């Protein structure tokens, strides 16, 4: 899963990526672009590794990307951000210049300021495509029916935007949503807000959180404190975390929240050498999940031996779970559930 970190200048994006990943800034410090791949903390995988001792334990990974500052000519910048599966939008709880704490209306304004830029970038993409399709439909082509459907959708979106609405709120059918998928619209991407509070405001975080819009998924942190926490020796972390009342570091918290906002789940496989976690969008079929592991497994898919992690864990072994009838054989259309342990049977 690719998580794109966006935010206004000086909101704390670069500090955040070090807080999120526990990595240490290099010689360039906070300046410029950064990216880091981190393993997903996974207690289920740890438990599976106990049940099935193998050579390796391979966790799922998350890639965090800090794209640096938005350049004046921003089209290439946003094109890059479009490749992310979800956005992590850093909003500073303080004014970056005066360092004063932001009240609820200033917080909202800062949040909306960047969202307006996302909308401008999406508008550009939608208008270009609308103009192209308007010409294309004048001549009969093989794709004319689909082009007409797409054009109608784009017109509807432009109207909604014109009337002061957001692209994100335009309702659409599944087939329309599918048409739109390749646009990778920024305003329709899953978004997690990282509210970056100053050290002074940290103890007051409950109140500040309450001031933030309700429909927005967010978690709060103090990036500077979290960076410090990440750089301490293991043995010193407990006391420091207690002092600042940090129940769980921001990295794992953000990863869990990102799975939530993006509707992603994990399934597990146990091979000869490794026990492994895989990230997929919720709703995939067993055959689609198999394709994630290997295309041959999807092509020759026969069935998936399936055990829910909770059942396996409750009974301690596959054998015990089987005796209780908890090991299932599922077909290609089975909807994979979070925590499923799958063994794909396929013909070569």
Ligand X SMILES: Nc1nc2c(ncn2[C@@H]2O[C@H](COP(=O)(O)OP(=O)(O)O)[C@@H](O)[C@H]2O)c(=O)[nH]1
CA pair distance 14, 20, nearest whole angstrom: 10
Is the CB of 12 or the CB of 190 nearer to ligand X?
A: 12
Q: Which residues of 280-318 are buried (b: 16+ CB within 10 A; e: fewer)?
A: beeebbbbbbbbbbeeebbeebebbebbbbebbbebeeb
In 3-state terms, what secondary structure has residue 309? Answer: helix
The secondary element (H helix, E strand) that includes residue 110 is helix 104-136
CB of 106 to ligand X, least distance (A): 16
CB of 339 to Mg ion, least distance (A): 36
Pick one of 9, 104, 144, 146: the residue that binds ligand X (CB under 6 A): 9
Q: Taking CB within 5 to 8 Å according to partner kind, which of ligand X, Mg ion, none is near residue 190?
A: none
Q: Which residue is nearest to Mg ion (CB)?
A: 14
**Which range of residues in 6-14, 126-134, 174-182, 326-334 is near ligand X by CB under 6 A?**
6-14
Question: Which residues pair with residue 114 across a beta bridge?
Answer: none
**Which range of residues in 5-13, 184-192, 264-272, 322-330 is near ligand X by CB under 6 A?**
5-13
Phi, psi (deg, nearest 5) at residue 166: -115, 145
303, 345 contact by CB (below 8 A): yes
306 binds ligand X (CB under 6 A): no
Pick one of 103, 199, 207, 310: the residue that binds ligand X (CB under 6 A): 199
CB of 34 to ligand X, least distance (A): 9
Pick one of 30, 179, 293, 326: the residue that binds ligand X (CB under 6 A): 30
CA 346 from centroid of its chain's CA atoms: 31
14 binds ligand X (CB under 6 A): yes
137 binds ligand X (CB under 6 A): no
230, 16 contact by CB (below 8 A): no
Is the CB of 32 or the CB of 260 nearer to ligand X?
A: 32
**Which range of residues in 12-20, 110-118, 231-239, 273-281 is near ligand X by CB under 6 A?**
12-20
Question: Could you tell me the sign of the dihedral formed by the alpha carbons of 238, 240, 245, 247, in that order?
Answer: negative
CA pair distance 133, 136, nearest whole angstrom: 5
Q: Is 39 left (phi over 0), alpha (psi -120 to 50) or beta?
A: beta
Q: Using CB under 6 A as the criterion, what x/- string covers residues 51-70 for binding ligand X?
A: --------------------
Contacts (CB under 6 A) with ligand X, residues 169-198: 196, 198
Pick one of 3, 4, 7, 334: the residue that binds ligand X (CB under 6 A): 7
How many helices (H) and strands (E) in the chain?
15, 12
Binding site for ligand X (CB under 6 A): 7, 9-15, 30, 196, 198-199, 222-224
């Amino acid at each position: 899963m690719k998580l794109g970190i966006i935010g206004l200048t000086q909101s704390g994006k670069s500090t955040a990526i070090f807080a999120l990943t526990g990595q240490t800034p290099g010689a360039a410090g906070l300046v410029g672009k950064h990216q880091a791949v981190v393993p997903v903390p996974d207690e289920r995988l740890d438990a599976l590794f106990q049940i099935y001792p193998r050579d390796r334990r391979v966790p799922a990974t998350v890639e965090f990307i800090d794209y640096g500052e938005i350049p004046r000519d921003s089209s290439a910048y946003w094109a890059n951000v479009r490749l992310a599966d979800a956005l992590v939008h850093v909003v500073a709880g303080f004014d970056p210049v005066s360092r004063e704490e932001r009240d609820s209306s200033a917080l909202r304004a800062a949040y909306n300021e960047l969202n307006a830029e996302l909308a401008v970038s999406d508008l550009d993409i939608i208008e270009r495509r609308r103009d192209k399709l308007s010409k294309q439909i004048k001549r009969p082509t093989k794709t004319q029916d689909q082009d007409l459907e797409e054009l109608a959708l784009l017109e509807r979106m432009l109207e909604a935007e014109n009337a002061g609405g957001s692209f994100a709120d335009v309702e659409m059918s599944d087939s329309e949503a599918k048409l739109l998928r390749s646009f990778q619209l920024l305003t329709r991407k899953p978004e997690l807000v990282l509210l970056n509070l100053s050290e002074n405001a940290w103890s007051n975080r409950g109140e500040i959180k309450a001031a933030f819009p309700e429909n927005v998924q967010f978690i709060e942190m103090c990036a500077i404190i979290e960076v410090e926490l990440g750089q301490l020796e293991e043995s010193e972390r407990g006391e420091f975390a207690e002092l600042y009342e940090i129940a769980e570091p921001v990295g794992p918290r953000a990863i869990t929240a990102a799975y939530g906002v993006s509707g992603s789940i994990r399934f597990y496989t146990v091979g000869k050498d490794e026990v492994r976690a895989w990230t997929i969008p919720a709703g995939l079929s067993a055959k689609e999940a198999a394709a994630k592991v290997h295309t041959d497994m999807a092509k020759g898919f026969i069935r998936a031996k399936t055990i829910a992690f909770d059942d396996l864990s409750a009974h301690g072994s596959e054998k015990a779970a089987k005796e209780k009838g908890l090991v299932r054989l599922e077909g290609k259309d089975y909807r994979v559930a979070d925590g499923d342990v799958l063994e794909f049977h396929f013909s070569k």
